[in-house]
């Protein structure tokens, strides 16, 4: 991590998804903070105290993101885990509850699917970071896909995502470099279109 941070301009997103007792999470985040990474993740889990500990351990050196509900998790999964019907029937309610915990703990933002990001932004404001995994291309083919709540790069950006986590569409592509460039172009085109609309230009 230190070598990557010192070698180039890239910011490091360390997605460890810490989830343990508060004291352990605090110590782990303190060690992460000394690596110079930009983002580090902790599960919102079941305890506000664990999130508080993560932020305390970060000591302002790293931006802590709370992982709300994994994009592989469906309503059926949440029901099977014993959550109340209000959460299992509407995952957005569960995501928003966990996001509120993260905000109250002082996290910089959350990791959430593209299906919830617009609600995160509307409720917690533009400065509360929304990082979105579960990104898929419209015509992309992903084998053995375990993701339940997915969106395209354009959809995520339009809904307010600040950062996209894109794995398999690039990693498993026949030409990963071409896939990455295609995704980057889609993101840029979406941003340009959104800026044009804000400036009152005709919609294409």
Q: Across all residues in the chain, what is the average pLDDT?
A: 89
Q: Is the pLDDT higher at 4 or at 140?
A: 4
Name the band, by pLDDT with cuts 50, 70 and 90, for residue 203. Answer: very low
| pLDDT tens figures, 83-95 | 888 877 788 899 9
Superfamily of domain 2-198: Aldolase class I (3.20.20.70)
DSSP SS3 for 200: coil
Domain residue ranges in the chain: 2-198
Determine the Cα–Cα distance for residues 136 and 126; give it in Å rounded to an integer: 24
Q: Which of 11, 17, 97, 141 is catalytic?
A: 17
pLDDT tens per residue across span 169-185 = 899 889 999 999 999 99
- Residues 187 and 156: their CA atoms lie apart, in Å, by 9
98 a catalytic residue = no
Give the integer Cα–Cα distance in Å for 140 and 44.
31
Sign of CA dihedral 82, 75, 162, 201: negative
Q: What is the pLDDT averaged over residues 20-46?
A: 95
Nearest-5° angle of CA 96, CA 98, CA 99? 60
First CA to last CA distance, the chain:
43
pTM: 0.87
């Amino acid at each position: 991590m230190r070598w990557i941070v010192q070698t180039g301009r890239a910011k490091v997103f360390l997605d460890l998804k810490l989830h343990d007792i508060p004291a352990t999470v605090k110590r782990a985040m303190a060690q992460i903070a000394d690596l110079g990474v930009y983002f580090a993740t902790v599960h919102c889990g079941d305890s506000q105290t664990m999130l508080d500990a993560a932020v305390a351990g970060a000591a302002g050196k790293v931006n802590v993101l709370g992982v709300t509900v994994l994009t592989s998790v469906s309503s059926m999964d949440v029901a099977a885990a014993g959550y109340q019907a209000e959460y299992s029937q509407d995952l957005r309610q569960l995501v928003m509850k966990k996001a509120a915990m993260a905000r109250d703990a002082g996290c910089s933002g959350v990791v959430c699917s593209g299906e919830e990001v617009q609600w995160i932004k509307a409720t917690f404001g533009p400065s509360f970071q929304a990082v979105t995994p579960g990104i898929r291309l419209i015509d992309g083919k992903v084998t053995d896909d375990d993701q339940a709540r997915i969106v395209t790069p354009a959809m995520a950006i339009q809904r307010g995502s600040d950062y996209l986590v894109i794995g398999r569409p690039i990693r498993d592509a026949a030409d990963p470099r071409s896939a990455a460039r295609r995704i980057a172009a889609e993101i840029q085109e979406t941003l340009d279109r959104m800026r044009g609309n804000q400036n009152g230009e005709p919609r294409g």
